């Protein structure tokens, strides 16, 4: 039995449900990847599913609301306001419902979360959606459990590639090595889910409206192709932050790296 607060979207043929999971202790890259990928899905028949948890889960729900996509949350607790976990996301939960989404749980309304209840709810999230997307996660994490369950339920698994030196990239990179679909831009998600949309839709390649000032600087630098190190020196803001900006532009489909050089698309 499932308990529901709000409006649970109907599983119509044209609608695809995408579970998005990731690390609670996310990096700037993970946040940017989540927000950029989901923003690029605006206007598409996709419902974003996640676990209402701190970290990537909460970012995914908020990004979906920002893109005017329906979102569904599966907390590891009951759905009563007094026990809803985490308490810091109770306002987010109310907004999800107010914006036409839903909260779903198999636990009694007043059930308080336990260690095992989060792993148990993961199996419902995995089975509920057409595919699961892992943004950031360590190799031993609940997100990888969700991905494993998705495979067992014959669902697709997607993963965002990450820096090889980042612990939270270990999970997605492992999934990619095992055959998960790599996701570098929103169009990759649409293609993997079998969704097409008209050219020029929100989030399509070439749209710089949601770029930061430093991202615009990189695009200006790339009027002619440059090596990554040249861009980092020109920006003068640190290697880690520069690489995060470059990765964000790649996710947005605005630049591409070929044979050691970066090009505008």
Q: From first to last of its 265 residues, what are the pLDDT tens digits of the chain?
A: 899 999 988 777 689 999 999 999 899 889 989 998 998 898 899 999 999 999 999 999 999 999 999 999 999 999 999 999 999 999 999 999 999 999 999 999 999 999 899 989 999 999 999 999 999 999 888 899 999 999 999 999 999 998 888 889 999 999 999 999 999 888 899 999 998 764 334 444 456 777 888 989 999 998 888 888 999 999 988 888 888 888 888 877 788 887 778 888 7
Angstrom distance (rounded) from CA 212 to CA 24 = 24
Provide the whole-model pTM.
Answer: 0.78
Q: Are 188 and 181 in contact (CB under 8 A)?
A: yes
Following CA atoms 83, 89, 90, 94 in sequence, which dihedral angle do they give, to the nearest 10 degrees?
-140
Tokens 């000032």 found at: 213
CB proximity list for 116: less than 8 A, separation 6 or greater: none
Q: Which of 22, 12, 8, 35 is nearest to 96 (CA)?
A: 8
């Amino acid at each position: 039995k499932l308990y529901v607060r709000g409006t649970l979207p109907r599983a119509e043929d044209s609608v695809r449900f995408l579970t998005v999971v990731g690390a609670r202790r996310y990096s700037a890259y993970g946040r940017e990847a989540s927000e950029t990928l989901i923003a690029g899905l605006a206007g598409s028949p996709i419902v974003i599913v996640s676990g209402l948890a701190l970290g990537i889960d909460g970012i995914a729900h908020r990004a979906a609301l920002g893109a005017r996509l329906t979102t569904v949350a599966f907390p590891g607790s009951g759905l009563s306001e007094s026990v809803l976990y985490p308490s810091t996301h109770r306002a987010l939960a109310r907004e999800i419902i107010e914006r036409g989404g839903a909260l779903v749980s198999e636990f009694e309304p007043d059930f308080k979360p336990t260690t095992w209840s989060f792993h148990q709810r993961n199996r419902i999230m995995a089975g509920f959606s057409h595919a699961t997307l892992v943004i950031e996660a360590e190799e031993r994490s609940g997100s990888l459990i969700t991905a494993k369950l998705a495979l067992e339920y014959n669902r697709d698994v997607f993963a965002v590639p990450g820096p090889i030196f980042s612990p939270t990239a270990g999970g997605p990179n492992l999934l990619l090595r095992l055959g998960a679909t790599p996701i570098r831009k929103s169009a990759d998600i649409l293609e993997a889910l079998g969704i097409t949309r008209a050219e020029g839709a929100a989030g399509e390649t070439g749209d710089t409206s949601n770029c930061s000032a430093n991202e615009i600087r990189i695009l200006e630098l790339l009027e002619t192709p440059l090596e990554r190190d040249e861009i980092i020196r020109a920006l003068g803001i640190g290697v880690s932050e520069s690489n995060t900006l470059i990765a964000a532009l790649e996710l947005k489909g605005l630049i591409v790296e070929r044979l050691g050089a970066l090009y505008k698309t």
